[in-house]
Amino acid sequence: MIDATAQAGANDVAGISFTLRQDRAARDQALKEATREAVSKAQVIAQALGGRVVRIVEVQEEGLERPRPTYEANAGMMRASAQAATPVEVGSLEITSRVQLIAEVEANL
């Protein structure tokens, strides 16, 4: 895609990004871990106050980002990419989630 774009006359390519086609399981796992982390932090804060978490008042997922659409390349671009000279390195795809949690704490101060 990069080579085909350059051959078509582009002089500035900002980059490419990769997404998962079926990302539900990865997003669910990230959300689960973020929620566990938020509850754990609430418990640490409560213990530092000499108390305990009585209940979770509210939980919100922060910064929900919808997946970006992925477009299929046309046949001409696919042929050009078969002869591509631009190297694309192997990397990783990071799925993250953030949770804001409000907890009621019973403190023994």
pTM above 0.75, yes or no: no
- C-alpha dist (Å) from residue 31 to 1, 27, 53, 58, 100: 33, 6, 21, 15, 11
Mean pLDDT of 76-105: 74
Identify which has the larger pLDDT, 29 or 93.
29
Mean pLDDT of 11-26: 80
The string of pLDDT tens digits covering residues 62-79 is 875 554 444 444 444 444
Q: Any idea which of 19-28, 54-63, 82-91, 96-105 has the lowest mean pLDDT?
A: 82-91
Q: How far apart are CA 58 and CA 89, in angstroms?
A: 42
Asked whether the predicted pLDDT for residue 1 surpasses 70, the reply is yes
- The structural domains of the chain, with segments of one domain joined by +, span 2-106
